[in-house]
Chain A
């Protein structure tokens, strides 16, 4: 996606907080395209329910990449992390990674992955 696809909302009134921060968003069309991609991936996820004889390991290998893809797409495009100040990304992913590490350790201590 090129930077020319983005617009900076020239009609917006300037806000005091944003004096030094360029504010960019995807266009409406890009939002619709992202939503369509997410809908297709969701359909693929649901499809695994109708496929018999898939083991839990196979399901995890299929579903986790799709889940992570959807998660990242919403964060990057709908939540504007791709375009917004990197500080927001760092703050959010700090909490997210901390949660994954802490609860993975907790699950491991209960032999969940054994």
Chain B
């Protein structure tokens, strides 16, 4: 190639476009591999909780003594609805409707923040009832599991706000639809992990 002739990619400094051998996006495949590996992380945490929850030698001995199921049910519903708003955001950006996508991204972030606020409130209540992180082995396993999930949600909220700011600056359009979709996968994964935690940890004593 002559030095005098630059392709559009070289001129803009963007990464060169390429076709993958599978015909699918490497970034999306990487996210799926990450989510598959994250199954092992949460599998370990859930298994540990199941093994340790009834082995405490100091009170509270029974998880049912401290859980507030109606409150946690509302939190679960909020997180479930955030998956809907995330899916709507992905649909909107694929149609090139940036304004609507921005609205759904912000709504998803607010619902995620509501869920985290609920978790903080719930943990404060447990602490007041005498269940701290080091109170007993049930508390340690419970806070580690739900804390890791809460950390995932918090990271997701940061990503959502990044996408929201990108859209405000005009850097989010239909060409970035895959970026929003890949983040959406992460957010839905956080939701399906909570589906497992809500049933296994909270509803089955």
**In which size bucket is the chain B interface?**
35 or more
Q: Interface size of A by Cβ–Cβ distance < 8 Å?
A: 60
Q: Which of B51, B77, B96 contacts A107 (CB 8 A)?
A: B51
Taken residue by residue from 27 to 53, chain A's Cβ proximity to chain B (1 for < 8 Å, 0 otherwise) reads as: 110011011001100100110110000
C-alpha spacing A16/B35, complex, angstroms: 24
Q: Which of B25, B29, B44, B95 contacts A103 (CB 8 A)?
A: B44
Number of A-B residue pairs at CB separation under 8 A: 173
Say whether A114 faces chain B, with CB atoms less than 8 Å apart: no
Residues of B within 8 A of A60 (CB): 204
Interface residue SS majority, chain B = helix
Q: Is B32 a contact partner of A88 (Cβ separation < 8 A)?
A: yes
Q: Is B36 a contact partner of A9 (Cβ separation < 8 A)?
A: no
Say whether B56 faces chain A, with CB atoms less than 8 Å apart: no
Chain B residues 122-141 with CB under 8 Å of chain A are none
Q: Is B204 a contact partner of A59 (Cβ separation < 8 A)?
A: yes
Residues of B within 8 A of A11 (CB): 94-96, 174
Listed in ascending order, the chain B residues whose CB lies under 8 Å from chain A are: 17-20, 22-29, 32-33, 35-40, 42-44, 46-47, 50-51, 69-70, 73, 76-77, 80-81, 83-84, 86-88, 90-91, 94-96, 173-175, 177-178, 181, 184-185, 188-189, 191-192, 195-196, 198-200, 203-205
8 additional contacts (CB under 8 A) given A39-B77, A46-B69: A11-B174, A13-B173, A35-B84, A39-B80, A42-B73, A42-B77, A85-B24, A107-B47
